[in-house]
Structure 1
Amino acid sequence: METNAEASSSRTPAAAEAGPALPHLATPESFPFPYPQPYSIQLDLMRTVFAALEDGKIAIVESPTGTGKSLTLLTATLSWLSAHGKRLDDAAEADLRARFTAEDPDDPPWVIESAVKRHMGELHAAAEARAARLAAVREKEGRLRRANAAGAFGRKRARVATEGDVEDKGEDRFLPDDGDAAPADSNLSAEVMALMATLDGGRKKEEQEEEENVPKVYFASRTHSQLRQLTAELLKTTFPAGKEDEEGEGTAGADDNISLVPLASRKQMCINDKVRARARDETRLNEACLDLQKSGSGARCEFLPKADDPRLLDARDGVLATVRDIEDLVLEGRAAGVCPYYATRRAVRQSQLVTLPYNLLLQASAREALGIDLTSQVVVIDEAHNLIDTLLGIYSTTLPASHLSNAAAQLTQYLARFRSRLKPRHALWISQTLAVLRGLGKVCDNYAIDAGTDKAKAKGELLDVNALMARVGGAGDAVNLIELVRYLKESKLSRKVSGYAESLEEAAAAKSERRPRTTSARHASIAAFHNVEAFLLSLTDARDDGRVILSLDNGAVLVKYVLLNPAERFADVVKSARAIVLAGGTMEPVSDFYSQLFPSVPRERFATLSCAHVIPKSNLLTQVVSRGPRKLDFEFKFSNRGDDALLAELGAALLSAVGLVPDGVVVFLPSYAFLDKLKTAWGSSLLDKLDQKKKLFYEPQSAAEVDSTLRDYARAIDAPELNAAGRPRTGALMFAVVGGKLSEGINFSDRLGRCVVMVGLPFANVGSVELQERMRYVERLPGASKDAANELYTNLCMRAVNQSIGRAIRHANDYAVILLVDRRYATQRIRSRLPKWIGEDVVVADDWSAAAKGIAGFFREKRARGV
């Protein structure tokens, strides 16, 4: 166990402003944990997180999967939130008493106390009204459930026949929007329209300010399924609003009850089937939704009541009243005919816990769209080992050259059709957009020619944004990209052009006897302009920490914008939030978080904790396998991965291992290419021998086949089949790939993974232009060490290793063997980057006989104990 949560007693400004410090919780009884006796590591985690929130720190905590991490995080954060709310209440009362005393020192104490009591009563009135309102909603829900009626959002109103129908105004619908300009048919002056917009904005602001933005925890994870599991964990605790009502206790509405709001995109929550049918991707779904809300559109979405409509307020209260996941809210939204996407957005300010996927938290534009204000709030990011790569991925964009040519052709066709009907402003901007697209296309054509004769360029060419635009040349070089992107967004030009192209495609298919192109081909063509717009948006956000890479992919040119510095995109979160918790099952190595995410944050603001596992040490055996049965050293460097002797040695070791391990064995390999080499080198002879002992499975390259492969793998373990010789197999053997579909988010618990084998070190391709530039960039960061580039390179590898081997132990009673097959795992440089719950007890086997003896003894002891 290692913690430096108490390394510094200094208070941050956020903590100092919050009032007197709370006593740090220190005993099992202090935390309302749902089980009688938490594990010691769960108590350590709760104490560390609670202290970090109190002191306004950034906590980086590692708790292995299977140790109740999510439940422990919820208990710690919500315990602090509850205590913090009481403190704020006490602080408000003290502030009032001090203010009234200072205003009139001659007033007797009873007068001051009376005034304090009256004002505190006014402050409590809103909270009490909210609690009463939600209690009434829960009571109503109970009656409706018993009557088999609609759920949280109330009864569905009859539909107005003309609402929600998407209007077709002929080709006029393809003309660019005027953004914030006055509508063409308006008789009002621009000055009057501006004044009305100001007044309307003021009213909206007042409406928002009527609802207090209560202190809350924003809890983010990678996927909706992980957040769904979090909701289930929350229901185990005493915190959820409405839980007591559902269980018949009748105590809901207490001050400590936590309202959960699960946020998701329109793709997950839209219930307008007409819009969903017409919008073939998420971008177009968002645009179609927003179009149905525009003033004067004449086709407001039937499921979105106006802001002051009681149906929307009822839906907001239904979200707050009882804990539900996204699927429940969508079903109840359909039953009530009220949009769950906007109901959840409206509920955010009054909730204490908001769950959301990474991308909605990490993108400033998404936070703004959802009305998320992180100021003085708590941010918890689970599965945070992905955080740096997720930030880099969100702000990077890949654009095939074919999309550029498609978009240019579509825009040329569009301009020819509508030029005479365009306002001069639109005609000018569209002409400039076309110049940029043609210029970028020319850059790609020239690169393809150069790459054909220059091997170095064929690997990729790196440019900064200014160099790229200089190559675009002509009118494109003179275009203000920021203004151009602003125009594209305001005019919705990408949607107009793509819509027009789609209408021509449909008309041509209807007139001719030829078969229309496949849906995927048409979608790729129509999506071209949207992808171009996303790429241009990335260029405007490039600053000095982005690069453009030209490369070839199967002979086709790709233009990619890559972000190099995730810290600047995460800086707003760090600056705004009171405290941040980064949590994961395997957070090692943590040095990248300090250097790449928080380079300017003083080290004393961090609290770190690496938990041991809840399993006894005897339930895990981790061995470094340095040498094979034939005394050949295992070192799977990229240069010798094709060595037939080395591959044969690996095969011999695996053949021996599978005979010693019961049930399931999972072998992680560095790449799909290496898996193919193994199959070729081993041939049918060795593969047949392996299959005689355990049924063979291979990680599918298609995501659609993953579930069926896992089902078959589990079935082969639960009900072993006879092999070709008529003897029963002892389980199954799965070959998987590091960083592939089975290395994260898949649990090989119990019999599914009695042994996990990691073959080699999956270092990234050091020849990659993108990786080389990223390594150069981290070397130039302030305070970077001389070895910063190598640190990054090694850490990328070990983070992938740790995620893969973490698949083995998934709960307190699980047991497994982990084999690290490469002698480099014995070095301190590599071992120090393993999770501490694994790395502290690694056994280095100098030869295969020692490794085999360790495996056999481990499982012999388990059989003797009858487990």
Structure 2
Amino acid sequence: MRFMLDGLEVFFPYDFIYKEQYSYMQELKKALDAKGDCLLEMPTGTGKTVTLLSFITSYQLAHPETGKLIYCTRTVPEMTKAVEELKRVVAYRHEELRKDAVASGSDDAAAEATAAAADLLGICLSSRRNMCVHPRVMSNESDRERVDAQCRSMTAQWVRSRAEADPSVRLCEFFENYDRLGTDADLRGIYTLDDLKAAGQEHGWCPYFLARHAISFANVVVYNYQYMLDPKIANLVSRELEDKSIVVFDEAHNIDNVCIEALSVTLDRGTLEGAARNLGRLAAEAIPGNIRNAELFVRFMRHVVRFLKDRIKVAHVDSETPASFLHRMGTTLSVDPKPLRFAYSRLNSLLRTLEVTEVDEFAPISLVADFATLLATYPKGFMVVLEPFNSRTPHIPDPIMQLACLDASLAVRPVFQKFQSVILTSGTLSPLDMYPKILNFHPVVRASFEMSLTRPCILPLVVSRGRDQTPLSTKFETRDDQNVMRNYGDLVVQMASTVPDGMVVFFPSYSYMETIITAWHEWGVLERVEAHKLLFIETKDIVATTLSLGSFRRACDSGRGAVFFSIARGKVAEGIDFDRHYGRAVVLVGVPFQYTLSHVLRARLAFMRDHYHIREQDFLTFDALRNSAQCVGRVIRSKRDYGVMVFGDMRYARQDKRTKLPLWVQQAMRPAHLALTPELAASVTARFLREMAQPEDAEAAVGTSLLRLEHVKSLEAARLADEATAEKGVAVGGGAAGSAADAIREALAGGFAAEGDRAKPGSSDPEHAAAAATAEAMAAVSYPPRGAAGATGLGATQQSVSAPGAFSGLGGFLDADDEDDEDDAEWMHVLPAAASSAAGTAGVAAVSAGASAADVAAGEDVEDDPGVLSDEEALAAQAEAEAEGLEASSRKRPAPEGGRGLSAPKRAKAAADP
């Protein structure tokens, strides 16, 4: 599909586009046009990757001044998936441009050359272990350290210099061929890791160093987060990237944790002993005379290691700031700690000078040097935490010293400062207002999208009580209650007996999983589960877990069915998809809160409270629910897929918890499914699975969920008409605003309009037109779609939907009739203040985001929506709000007495204090 979007020609390699993909592109364009950052949450399984790649590469083609696209992923499979999608996008664009050239009268050769000129180079970069093709090196493929060491032993400059005098010195022929010919290679096309390896074997080039070299001139670069966020790696790989580049962090819901891990260092006694041995080995080396200062550096680091070995001996938990720690060190050693800032770079320089290829053997002293450099570089945002016991062996004295990064923005700040646009996107970013705080940036666009569906392919259920009416929860005071554990076992048995094929159960922690599984084994619960499905369990051993996953998939493929027990914060929850028959249901046991007695976590919570004004409970809830959303999202990877999401904890039924889940999960929740027992959950699940087993009418999605080219053209035509009407209305003074509003009503009734709101028709006042245009821009950028109660001030006001085509979002402030246009125009001026006031009131915050016009047009009963209050509830909420001094009614707010004569500021004051 090839279409125009706000003046930009987009090459999209499929014949249909989802409604949310089109809306996603609209928000992307706003961010790129503004040369700013954005935060976008798109439902799982709706084609986020191909949407990003097709739009941004089209933007690059239309704006040659735009820099390269740097696409950051977390895992190698995600990297491969992104590059495969890029291949599809570029192949489609190549063919379309070739057709254009032929149509213009060019011969086939000229047409092919024209299309090829617009082609781009896309590469991906990973570790040597994933890219090396040398047979000798790859004999140690499973050992990353050995692969790196052997590669250096054949490619280091001093080794090559030695080989010139001694032919017996073995070099890497792939690297030599790359160095001789590969740097001049005319690379074109898109290369996955396997493609690079195949090209390397074909031409005799080293794929790893070829990719490192190609980064400087490639149009699209795909690599891991660490290449951008870890300063040690970024300084080597990403330092030369141009400032006009566009950076995308895909699956960015855990980016703050990645940032913190990149800048945190943990030392124990074993590491310090190894560092002392490393220094002894360096001191014994014949240090060349021209770097005699290296002896002083080695002596200085010996003093540092000795101090750390003494400081780590603690009987109780202790912590101190970097400044305090450095002062203690300077006083004890009688040295100036300022040179510590250069410890890491000085050590690497010394290892290169001494021609050390087995760099990983010096990992202990490298850790100490990294610790020292970070300590001296960042006076704020860090804490040194000393504990007498290691978490892996809590009963054996094994002290550890952690330099814990508390401020996630420190690692990502250089990225925001350097590059033109940074895009954070994922399916689980709610609530969106938390990331700008913890990463300390200011997105120009933030948006969350609902999932447009023709059939409900996801079924969220909240199981809040057991068969015996025992409340289900993993709260500290109830997690060891045997009745609670029995009822959780009953829930797993009920779901295992109802759900076909694969099922996944997530627990909040390893310790709780071990405790409850032991109890279930004693009570015979596991035997009841195994009567229906085979059982597999995630362990801390990654190799054993990988084998278990393979067996789980084979059991599902054979029809036997299987259950996989996993951890909410484990590797499986983050990187493994249970799509199709591998995951027809996911059961979430409890709410996966972090271990709040962790001293590092307590320090981070205190830092965010003091510096970013984030309450501890707000962050803990946000963190737990984003992990919950990530877990349940494992079972739905496309709109043709379907699955059941069981939230096994009574806390999920609370409004303050539900509204922090992604919008596409909230929209599927029903009031009748918020307080179920295991039996009721199994019954609802069985009915849902029977419905999903029926043949799907693909044509029913066309025009609602799936958009053809003619639908997209209609949307673009409506947008252009809107702009023309708005310009005419401002220039002439009105009179034509009604036609634009009518067009928007028709689009809404047809199910094609975006979730933004437009100005009210009928006004002939120029002031009204300008205010309406301002409100439209605010709604497009700032206000999320219906359902995110409490996300904005408008979301905290019950909205009035009296007829098909009535406005949503602004419907609580602008009535759908044609009366009192002047009042409505004035109210447009006070929307931000009224929204802020409404959002800050606890009584009104509970009022729902309301039903959209599309719901009413589709004939849905708005009272069935969990976000809409009944008449009695609305009256009660109104009375409570009036007691607070605010109007909570969803009807049109009356103008203040004598309101027609008041100015906009006075009306704003009247709105705040009616």
Specify the alignment match of 1:269 in structure 2: 131
- Aligned equivalents of 2:414, 2:73: Cα separation in 1: 19
Q: CA deviation at 1:803?
A: 0.9
Q: Give the counterpart of 1:489 among 327, 332, 348.
A: 348
Q: Determine if the alignment matches structure 1 residue 595 to structure 2 residue 441.
A: no
**Structure 2 counterpart of 1:327:** 194
Establish whether residue 352 from structure 1 lines up as the match of residue 219 from structure 2.
yes
Q: Give the distance between the partners of 2:69 and 2:485, measured in 1 at CA.
A: 51
Match for residue 95 of structure 1? none
**Could you tell me how far 1:289 is from its partner in structure 2?**
7.1
Structure 1 residues 295 and 648, CA gap change in structure 2 (3 angstroms) = closer
Deviations 1:410-439 (A, max 9, x none): 423653675998965232222111111111
- After superposition, the Cα gap between the structure-2 partners of 1:421 and 1:245, relative to the gap in structure 1 and judged at 3 Å, is same
Give the whole-Å Cα distance in 2 for the aligned partners of 1:282 and 1:537.
Answer: 27
Residue number among 108, 122, 137 corresponding to 1:260 in the alignment = 122
User: Contact 1:764–1:793 (CA<8 Å) still a contact in 2?
Assistant: yes
Mapped pair 1:773 → 2:642: no
Q: Give the total of aligned pairs.
A: 663
The amino acid of 2:218's aligned partner reads S
Q: 1:40 Cα shift?
A: 0.9
Q: Distance in 1 between matches of 2:622 and 2:354?
A: 42
Task: Work out which of the residue numbers 258, 273, 280 in structure 1 matches 2:145.
Answer: 280
Structure 1 residues 623-702: aligned runs within 5 Å = 623-684=461-522, 685-702=524-541
2:725 alignment partner in structure 1: none
Offset at 1:486?
Answer: 4.0
- Residue 546 (structure 1) aligned to one of 361, 379, 382: 382
The C-alpha deviation readout for 1:527-565, integer Å capped at 9, x for no partner, is 322332332233233331112221221221222211111
- Partner letter of residue 778 of structure 1? M
Give 1:273 shift: 6.2
Pair 246,345 (structure 1): closer, same or farther in 2 beyond 3 Å: farther
Change (3 A) 1:648 1:252: farther
* Structure-to-structure mapping, 1:410-809, within 5 angstroms: 410-412=278-280, 414-415=282-283, 424-445=292-313, 447=314, 450-451=315-316, 457=317, 461-472=318-329, 473-475=331-333, 477-479=335-337, 480-492=339-351, 527-551=363-387, 552-553=389-390, 554=393, 555-599=397-441, 601=442, 605-613=443-451, 615-684=453-522, 685-721=524-560, 731-781=561-611, 784-785=612-613, 787-809=614-636
Question: Does structure 1 retain, via aligned residues, the 8 Å contact 2:124–2:221?
Answer: yes
- Please list the CA deviations of residues 214-270 of structure 1 after superposition, one character each: whole Å capped at 9, or x if unmatched: 721111111222111111111222458988999999725534212112233444334
Partners of 1:236 and 1:577 in 2: how far apart?
A: 27
Distance 2:30 2:325 in 1: 49
Give the drift of 1:25: 1.3
Q: 1:289 to 1:564 in 2, by over 3 A?
A: farther
Counterpart contact for 2:129–2:144, Cα < 8 Å: no
Q: How does 1:144-163 map to 2 (within 5 A)?
A: none
Alignment equivalent of 2:262, drawn from 362, 385, 394: 394
1:832 is the counterpart of 2:659? yes
- Which whole-Å CA distance do the structure 1 matches of 2:248 and 2:258 have between them? 15
Confirm or deny: 8 A CA contact 1:660 1:855 kept in the other structure.
yes
1:223 matched residue in structure 2:
75
Going from structure 1 to structure 2, the CA distance change for 1:364 and 1:243 (only over 3 Å counts) comes to: farther
Classify the secondary structure of the residue corresponding to 1:734. Answer: strand
Cα 1:240–1:433 shift into 2, 3 Å? farther
Change (3 A) 1:72 1:422: closer
How high is the sequence identity, in percent, across the aligned residues? 26
Quick one: structure 1 residues 42 and 369, their matched pair in 2 at CA, closer, same or farther if it must change by over 3 Å? same
- CA deviations over 1:613-646 (Å, ceiling 9, x no partner): 3544522211111111111111210232111111
Matched with 1:361 is 228
Q: Which runs of 5+ in 1 are unaligned?
A: 1-22, 89-213, 452-456, 503-522, 722-730
Q: What is aligned with 1:50?
A: 29
Q: Distance in 1 between matches of 2:455 and 2:476?
A: 34
How far apart are the structure 1 equivalents of 2:499 and 2:632?
A: 17
Q: CA deviation at 1:287?
A: 6.0
The reply on whether 1:25 has 2:25 as its aligned counterpart is no
Indicate how the Cα distance of structure 1 residues 302 and 433 shifts in structure 2: closer, same or farther if over 3 A, else same: same
Q: 1:686 Cα deviation (Å)?
A: 1.7
Greater alpha carbon shift after TM alignment, 219-228 vs 483-492: 483-492
**Equivalent residue number for residue 241 of structure 2:** 373
Instruction: Check the 8 A contact 1:762/1:797 in 2, yes or no.
Output: yes
- Distance in 1 separating the partners of 2:454 and 2:96: 36
Cα distance between partner residues in 2 of 1:845 and 1:627: 10
Q: Distance in 1 between matches of 2:593 and 2:353?
A: 40
The equivalent of 1:313 in structure 2 is 183
Secondary structure of the structure 2 residue equivalent to 1:527: helix
Show the counterpart of 1:114.
Answer: none
Higher mean alpha-carbon deviation, 247-256 vs 579-588, is at 247-256
Determine helix, strand or coil for the equivalent of 2:472: coil
Distance in structure 1 (CA, Å) of the matches to 2:521 and 2:144 = 49
1:846 aligns to 2:659 (yes or no): no
2:103 aligns to what? none
Whole-angstrom CA distance in 1 between matches of 2:272 and 2:420: 44
Q: CA separation of 1:332/1:241 partners in 2, compared to 1, >3 Å: closer, same or farther?
A: farther
Q: Measured at CA, do residues 355 and 246 of structure 1 come closer, stay the same or move farther in structure 2, by a change above 3 Å?
A: farther
Task: Indicate the structure whose relative CO is greater, using CA pairs within 8 Å and at least 6 residues apart.
Answer: 1
The verdict on how the C-alpha distance between 1:865 and 1:659 changes in structure 2, with shifts beyond 3 A counting, is farther
Deviation string, structure 1 residues 802-850 (Cα, Å, up to 9, x no partner): 1111011111211111111111101122111111111123234434154
The 1-side partners of 2:420 and 2:210 are apart by 27
Separation in 1, partners of 2:632, 2:280: 53
Alpha-carbon separation, structure 2, partners of 1:243 and 1:323: 15
Q: Match of 1:32, as an amino acid?
A: F
Q: TM-score with structure 2 length normalisation? A: 0.67
The 5 A counterparts of 1:182-221 are 215-221=67-73
**Which amino acid is 2:306 matched to?**
R
What is the one-letter code of the residue matched to 1:340?
P
Does the Cα contact within 8 Å between 2:472 and 2:484 map onto a contact in 1? yes
Which letter maps to 2:543?
Answer: A
Alpha carbons 1:219, 1:381 under 8 Å: kept: yes
What letter is aligned with 1:705? A
- Which moved further from structure 2: 637-646 or 260-269? 260-269
Q: 1:699 to 1:615 in 2, by over 3 A?
A: farther
Q: What's 2:804 paired with? A: none
Q: Would the alpha carbon gap of residues 270 and 626 (structure 1) be closer, same or farther in structure 2, given more than 3 Å must change?
A: same
CA distance in structure 2 between the partners assigned to 1:532 and 1:287 by the alignment? 23
- Give the equivalent residue in structure 2 for 1:118: none
Residues 694 and 53 of structure 1: CA distance in aligned 2, closer, same or farther (over 3 Å): same
Q: 1:478 and 1:771 mapped to 2: Cα distance?
A: 31
> Aligned pair in 2 of structure 1 residues 846, 312: CA closer, same or farther (>3 Å)?
closer
Change (3 A) 1:533 1:476: farther
Q: Tell me the alpha carbon deviations over residues 465-519 of structure 1, each in whole angstroms, 9 at most, x when there is no partner.
A: 23333444543753431244443232128987896xx9xxxxxxxxxxxxxxxxx
2:459 counterpart SS class: strand
Alignment partner, residue 792 of structure 2 = none
> Residue 188 of structure 1 corresponds to which residue in structure 2?
none
Matched with 1:181 is: none
Match of 1:814 among 634, 641, 644: 641
State the alpha-carbon separation in 2 of the partners of residues 708 and 220 from structure 1. 28
Secondary structure of the corresponding residue to residue 78 of structure 1 = helix
Classify 1:645/1:246 alpha carbon distance in 2 versus 1 (closer, same or farther; 3 Å).
farther
Moved more, 320-329 or 484-493: 484-493
In 1, the alpha carbon distance for the partners of 2:279 and 2:554 equals 54
8 A contact 1:241–1:252 mirrored in 2 = no
Q: SS of 1:478's equivalent?
A: coil
Q: 1:676 to 1:527 in 2, by over 3 A?
A: same
Conservation of the 8 A alpha-carbon contact between 2:552 and 2:564: yes
